[in-house]
Structure 1
Amino acid sequence: MAPVSRRSVLHGLLATSVGGALGGCDALTGFATTGGSGTTFFSTQFTPVEEAERFRGILRSQVDGDVSYVTSDPGPFATQIRTQVDAGSVRASVLGGVHGDLAPLADGYLTDLTDLLDGLGDLGWPPEFLELARAGTSRTWYVPWAQASYVICARKETLEHLPSGADVNALTYDQFLDWVTAARRANGNRPVLALPGGPKGLLHRFTQGFLLPSFTGGQITTYRSRDAVEAWEYFRELWRNTVPTSTTYDFVQEPLAAGEATIGWDHVARLINAPAAEPDRWVMAPSPRGPKGLGYMVILTGMGIPRGAPEEDVARKVIAALSRPAAQLEVLTENAFFPTVRVDLPGDLTPAISMEADAIERQRTAPDALVALPPVGIGTREGEVTKVFKDTFQSIVLDGADVRNTLDAQSRVMNGLLTDIGVACWSPDPAGSPCEVA
């Protein structure tokens, strides 16, 4: 596997996988009554207590002055910022969140950071991330901070079961299915593929950001298309070659490490421990590609400034400091978030992180890469949209329901939700308001 050098690579933890350390609309209020002082960095990221404390240490080492780090769940985060800006009583100076947290606040609740980004020079952010930071306008509303995605993790001995001529770093979905099928047969007809289908697993991201974009070119508008029928028929066949207890797996690294499976797909943060004991016996690889390209979901985080921030000048300095390669490498070392800027990765990284870095970079730079995002602008209603994907999976893949009838029924549910919310589509679907299934 080629060494990793001077590239933008990624690794991160989804805000949806952990609870907020200080949730609800009382987050900043609670901070003010617990001894906080200085500039406030209000964020949906690093919400577990240990991660938040490590990041506070990074702020102390990388930023001049006193910066307090306060976390929140995504829904209350957006509500609180809007409320404070509308009231002219903003308490946070720096904001941190995923694209879906920040983009809906653009052009009204965030400060234009075009000049700040220009002043930082060419730090090597991928062009597609800078485009997302503009949120459909000509101005920059946040500075890309960190990112994450999902990849394949497998024991090296499974590579002997790849179909003839297949490259594990450039698999099609058909080759992926052939691979796990051959590995199952070689394992006494016992499946070896693990997928995160547990109660807290992220299997819905597989359909949202990978399978459907790769087969249909979209996520929502194409939900009931002929290509979508093909995608779900494929998924049903793939599931027949999946470890049955995948419906209990929240983190695929656990069955992989325990030997219950030898091939898995999951979020990078939920795979990193699988190769820990014997890294030389594992590989990480990009997700497969389909007829429309290599659809992959990127979890991009950014740093912004709310309109009317009490310490905007200080906030700009904080964002500039955290954009430096040295600061981003410290985040990598302490909290396993990979830089979004161009850096030389240190040689003492754990093998698992290096393997993930290589797999994700191959995924991002694939010539037919098709970027998909988690739902944007839905806020507290995301769970309802996610339920449509989960219910579709339950009906088609687990219960064996008719694919066409299921997609028609679930599309009506999806359209009802999106019409009620009145939200525009997000990548890879074309922009439009309201977003709806065609």
Structure 2
Amino acid sequence: MSDLAHRDLSRRTLLKGGLMALATGPLLAACGVNTSGSGGEGSVNFLSTQFSPVEERQRYEATLKKFAGDIQVAYNPVDTGIFNTTLKSQLAAGKVEIGIAAGLHSDLIPFASQFEDLSSLTNDLSSAGYSDDLLELAKLGTDSPRYIPWIQATYVVAVNKKALDWLPSGADVNNLTYENFLAWAQAAKAANGGRPVFGIPAGPKGLHHRFYQGFLLPSFTGGQITTFRNADAVTAWTYMRDLWANMNPASANYDFMQEPLGNGEVLVAWDHVARLINAVQDKPDDWLMVPAPSGPKGKGYLLVVGGMAVPQGSPEKDKAFELIKALSKPEAQIETLKSNAFFPVVEADIGSDLPGGIALEAKAVKAQQEAPDAILALPPVGLGDKDPQVSQLFKNCFQEICLNNADVRATLDRQGAELASIMDTLNVPCWAPDPDSDQCRVA
């Protein structure tokens, strides 16, 4: 991948078209839900790693039905492993049934050379307002666009206004440091008779590994992989253990923070914007959405970018192109924002009629990205089928350090050795915020 695709991902330009303008399951055919595994002759089979939770899937199916026009769509949201094996097997056999392969940037990287060149489609969408950096990312390290940008999102902190009573004196809830955040969690726990009211999605399907990859470690170390086991990482994980001691221990079972936030078990929580929205949408006046805290190196935050690609040999290619065009219209992008809290990648006037919860998130996301100390991080790139294994290493650190009270230095050395072995085998470049290198290595 080019240096620009990995490193010049300017937060000021990347999101100008979306956030800054304020960013094997059931199948849907245009005439109804189809669970057979195929939408039938003439339909576009849409394989996706996104919107797989039932409610998210149903809402996106409604968006597809609204904007697909006469095109029949079989929508199939799956996990990354099934996405990879399905694409690999069909491409290897030369019997491609997938019309559109949609996923996060990192999901699409392994198939870059097997996706259609979308230069003509990119030209047709030249007035959409994609940023130059998004278009560079869409090349997946090749000389031509291999996907059309689709969605973007990030993670923020949801705050029930009740918790403001325990905010440390002098702390700004919209510009917190990690020191402030810990002191706040401690004060809230003490004020509630020793019952912690902060939380994080550390359940089996929770995205807490993204907190360590994109927020904690970049904020404390300035990196994600190269700094995995250095002295600053020891400080970061020592901090995390202290923070965990002041979080609701049931967080180890939470997959989506909107549920414990909604029922009052937790009053302050970090999570993906799409996994917070249900907690705040009914009573937005009771809530704040705020940026993640800043650490010694700055305010690390993870940007999630997704794209729509067309596998080579895909059937109904022309219809796939037309569907991508339809889903790239500002109206479709705004509909996705309103329904599933993923922000537009095109130039879109999102207006003032956003649902209350979405408006709160939009404000927090904008403040997070425009912070003078912001450090942009990407999810791991180019790991292929090793991605779950790498993510598990971050989860292992949490398990050992926070739950089992293991020695921080020894844990990072052990997990870091496994990560180093994986990275040495993969021989892939680094991604933001790690420094430029042809091969990303653990120091």
Name the TM-score class by shorter chain.
0.7 to 0.9
CA contact (8 A) 1:153 1:263 kept: yes
Match of 1:89 in 2: 95
CA contact (8 A) 1:103 1:133 kept: no
Is 338-347 or 386-395 further displaced after alignment? 338-347
CA contact (8 A) 1:43 1:69 kept: no
Are 1:9 and 2:22 matched, yes or no? Answer: no
Are 1:338 and 2:343 matched, yes or no? Answer: yes
Partner of 1:45: helix, strand, or coil? coil
- Distance (whole Å) between structure 2 residues aligned to residue 84 and residue 114 of structure 1: 24
Match of 2:121 in 1: 116
Gaps of 5+ in 2: 1-15, 28-33
Show the 5 A alignment for 1:287-306.
Answer: 287-306=292-311
The structure-2 alpha-carbon separation of the partners of 1:234 and 1:44, relative to structure 1 and needing over 3 Å to count, comes to: same
The structure-2 alpha-carbon separation of the partners of 1:375 and 1:63, relative to structure 1 and needing over 3 Å to count, comes to: same
Which AA in structure 1 matches 2:218? P
Over residues 137-175 of structure 1, what are the superposed CA-to-partner deviations in whole Å (9 max), with x where a residue is unaligned? 443221111122211111223334333443222222122
- Distance (whole Å) between structure 2 residues aligned to residue 385 and residue 274 of structure 1: 30
Partner of 1:370: helix, strand, or coil? strand
Which AA in structure 1 matches 2:422? L
Are 1:242 and 2:276 matched, yes or no? Answer: no
Is 313-322 or 146-155 further displaced after alignment? 313-322
Over residues 273-305 of structure 1, what are the superposed CA-to-partner deviations in whole Å (9 max), with x where a residue is unaligned? 222443212101011122222211222211112
- Distance (whole Å) between structure 1 residues aligned to residue 227 and residue 285 of structure 2: 41
The structure-2 alpha-carbon separation of the partners of 1:373 and 1:30, relative to structure 1 and needing over 3 Å to count, comes to: farther
Alignment size in residue pairs: 418
Which AA in structure 2 matches 1:90? V
* TM-score, normalised by the number of residues in structure 1: 0.85
Among 120, 138, 141, the residue aligned to 1:133: 138
- Distance (whole Å) between structure 2 residues aligned to residue 54 and residue 158 of structure 1: 31
Show the 5 A alignment for 1:216-231.
Answer: 216-231=221-236
- Distance (whole Å) between structure 2 residues aligned to residue 88 and residue 134 of structure 1: 23
Over residues 392-426 of structure 1, what are the superposed CA-to-partner deviations in whole Å (9 max), with x where a residue is unaligned? 11222222222111111111111223344454433
Match of 2:382 in 1: 377
Is 322-331 or 109-118 further displaced after alignment? 109-118
Show the 5 A alignment for 1:18-417.
Answer: 20-21=25-26, 31-32=37-38, 35-48=40-53, 51-52=56-57, 54-71=59-76, 72-106=78-112, 108-417=113-422
Over residues 15-40 of structure 1, what are the superposed CA-to-partner deviations in whole Å (9 max), with x where a residue is unaligned? xxxx7447xxxxx99634x6353333
The structure-2 alpha-carbon separation of the partners of 1:127 and 1:85, relative to structure 1 and needing over 3 Å to count, comes to: same
- Distance (whole Å) between structure 2 residues aligned to residue 41 and residue 391 of structure 1: 34
CA contact (8 A) 2:17 2:344 kept: no
Superposed displacement of residue 329, structure 1: 2.1
- Distance (whole Å) between structure 2 residues aligned to residue 176 and residue 142 of structure 1: 39
Partner of 1:364: helix, strand, or coil? helix
Identity of aligned residues (%): 49
Superposed displacement of residue 355, structure 1: 0.8
The structure-2 alpha-carbon separation of the partners of 1:36 and 1:46, relative to structure 1 and needing over 3 Å to count, comes to: farther
The structure-2 alpha-carbon separation of the partners of 1:55 and 1:244, relative to structure 1 and needing over 3 Å to count, comes to: closer
Over residues 161-220 of structure 1, what are the superposed CA-to-partner deviations in whole Å (9 max), with x where a residue is unaligned? 333443222222122222222333333443221122223222222111110111112111
The structure-2 alpha-carbon separation of the partners of 1:274 and 1:52, relative to structure 1 and needing over 3 Å to count, comes to: closer
CA contact (8 A) 1:39 1:92 kept: yes
Partner of 1:296: helix, strand, or coil? strand
Is 223-232 or 360-369 further displaced after alignment? 360-369
Superposed displacement of residue 92, structure 1: 2.6
The structure-2 alpha-carbon separation of the partners of 1:291 and 1:68, relative to structure 1 and needing over 3 Å to count, comes to: same
- Distance (whole Å) between structure 2 residues aligned to residue 29 and residue 398 of structure 1: 41
CA contact (8 A) 1:196 1:252 kept: yes
Match of 1:15 in 2: none
Which AA in structure 1 matches 2:192? N
The structure-2 alpha-carbon separation of the partners of 1:238 and 1:56, relative to structure 1 and needing over 3 Å to count, comes to: closer
- Distance (whole Å) between structure 2 residues aligned to residue 217 and residue 309 of structure 1: 41
CA contact (8 A) 1:180 1:193 kept: yes
Partner of 2:398: helix, strand, or coil? helix
Partner of 1:274: helix, strand, or coil? helix
The structure-2 alpha-carbon separation of the partners of 1:7 and 1:362, relative to structure 1 and needing over 3 Å to count, comes to: farther
Match of 2:11 in 1: none
Partner of 1:31: helix, strand, or coil? coil
Partner of 2:307: helix, strand, or coil? strand
Match of 1:14 in 2: none
The structure-2 alpha-carbon separation of the partners of 1:436 and 1:59, relative to structure 1 and needing over 3 Å to count, comes to: same
Superposed displacement of residue 228, structure 1: 0.6
- Distance (whole Å) between structure 1 residues aligned to residue 124 and residue 384 of structure 2: 32
Gaps of 5+ in 1: 1-5, 11-18, 23-27
Partner of 2:400: helix, strand, or coil? helix
Partner of 1:319: helix, strand, or coil? helix
Superposed displacement of residue 225, structure 1: 0.9
Which AA in structure 1 matches 2:84? A
The structure-2 alpha-carbon separation of the partners of 1:127 and 1:215, relative to structure 1 and needing over 3 Å to count, comes to: farther
